Amino acid sequence: MTTLTSLGLIVLALLRTPLFAIIAAAALLGFYRSGIDLTAVVIEFYRLAEMPILLAIPLFTFAGYLLSESRAAVRLVHLTQALLGWMPGGLAIVALLACAFFTAFTGASGVTIVALGALLVPAMAQAGYGENFNLGLVTTSGSLGLLFAPSVPLILYAVIAQQLGVGEPVTVDDMFLAGVLPGLLMLALLSVWVVWVNRGQPLRAFSRTEAGAALWEARWEIPLPFIVLGGIYTGYFAVSEAAAVTALYVLIVEVGIYREVSLRKLPGVMRDAMVLVGAILIILGLSLASTNYLIDAGVPAKLFAMIQSHISDRLTFLILLNIFLLVLGTMLDIFSALVIMVPLLLPIATGYNIHPVHLGIIFLANMQIGYFTPPVGMNLFIASYRFKKPVMQLYRATLPFFIILLLAVLMITYWPGLSLSLPSLG
């Protein structure tokens, strides 16, 4: 692709042309210049449509949107507060766990901040936690669940890696298992810190009556993680089947039992969920077509040769990879970043003997904290709008959480066993 063409695509990006149009233009121009029939782009969409695992994305997304429209978040917070509120920093740990659970199912950190922020920030302020602490906690923990199943980014990474066929094979089950220990590490480090910072907070006594009432109130949502994960890892469900069961279960619970999402409102929820899914699939199909052109043109091999001429060891490559992904996370949403960058990074990473599953967890962990990395992390602006606070205040509020999660990302990056131990047992 000529320099003039590249500059043209950059200008389109600066003019805020939709991402799928820029990727499509790049793919079509590349194939045209190479003398390849342009139906190659359509073939990629057909190949994508043949993947059974792809069904999991719209189904899990629909289930997540249904949960976000119901009072599931309120019940989840009440339950965790009743069970953990007696601990030092208990309400802060409740916020961490609730946000992680909610983001895992909705797949969108901004939704978590909007849905749970109005509940958690006033509750924590009433309990005596400082304003900056509350804002920092909710803003950063809004993206914590991206490493936990059934997070859509985990599924999307597996789909892209399968299509590339580079290095060791990657399955969705592998990615679900690989995210467990790194995700728990992030939660554990943050939990230790929030307990230490709030060790002087007055404690509330544990109440069996309150815990029992909260358990009863959330009795229909409590089985949800066990249905999803238990069904997949016992081999009873394939991932796509687990997604279908999850969507049906959530539909019955939120629409039929709790009746918090009316039948009149249901088409709107479906529309919003499928708009997101449609955007992901369009970008994914066009990106895979563009990737095929890049592979045919030998671009990943040329990039690897260029990088290897300057970076000989794996450690240095991983350091630069983390820096690059942090910056990327501030500029692109996670779905766009996955479909654009993974096809380029995966062949290079395998050249440095980095396992594709490990790379996926490194990628998502960095993108997770890129959401609130100054100066333009998306969560900072969502939280600023939601809580009516200056962005500079949120920069300061999120800094301690950023440092802790950055430490966790470094541990995830340089300790491959953290990501690979559970998949190797599966």
pLDDT of 402 > 80? The answer is yes
Tokens of 376: 């333009």
Q: How far apart are CA 372 and CA 395, in angstroms?
A: 8
Mean pLDDT score, 295-300: 68
Q: pLDDT tens for residues 354-398?
A: 999 999 999 999 988 888 887 767 788 888 877 888 888 988 999
From 185, 167, 189, select the one nearest 347 (Cα to Cα): 167
Tokens of 42: 């359509």
Q: pLDDT tens for residues 165-203?
A: 788 889 988 999 999 999 999 999 999 998 888 877 666
- Cα dihedral 386, 391, 396, 398 sign: positive
Q: What global pTM score does this model have?
A: 0.82
- Exposed, middle or buried by CB within 10 Å (0-12, 13-18, 19+), for 224? buried
Q: How far apart are CA 254 and CA 181, in angstroms?
A: 31
CA 248 to each of CA 58, 75, 242, 251, 257: distance values in angstroms, whole numbers, following the listed order: 12, 20, 10, 5, 12
Task: Spell out the alpha helix ranges (H) of 297-390.
Answer: 299-310, 314-331, 334-351, 356-370, 378-387
From 387, 390, 355, select the one nearest 374 (Cα to Cα): 390
From 389, 332, 352, select the one nearest 117 (Cα to Cα): 389
Determine how many CB atoms are found less than 10 A away from the CB of residue 62: 22
Better-predicted residue by pLDDT, 3 or 365: 365
Q: pLDDT tens for residues 96-139?
A: 888 888 888 776 556 677 767 777 888 788 777 888 998 999 88
CA 411 to each of CA 13, 176, 196, 259: distance values in angstroms, whole numbers, following the listed order: 35, 19, 21, 44
The pLDDT value given to residue 109: 56
pLDDT of 156 > 80? The answer is yes
- What is the DSSP code string of 275-296? HHHHHHHHHHHHHHHHHHHHHH
Q: How far apart are CA 268 and CA 70, in angstroms?
A: 13
Mean per-residue pLDDT over the chain, rounded: 83
DSSP 87: S
Domain boundaries, the chain: 26-425
Q: pLDDT tens for residues 193-247?
A: 988 888 776 667 788 898 899 899 989 988 888 887 778 777 788 888 888 998 9
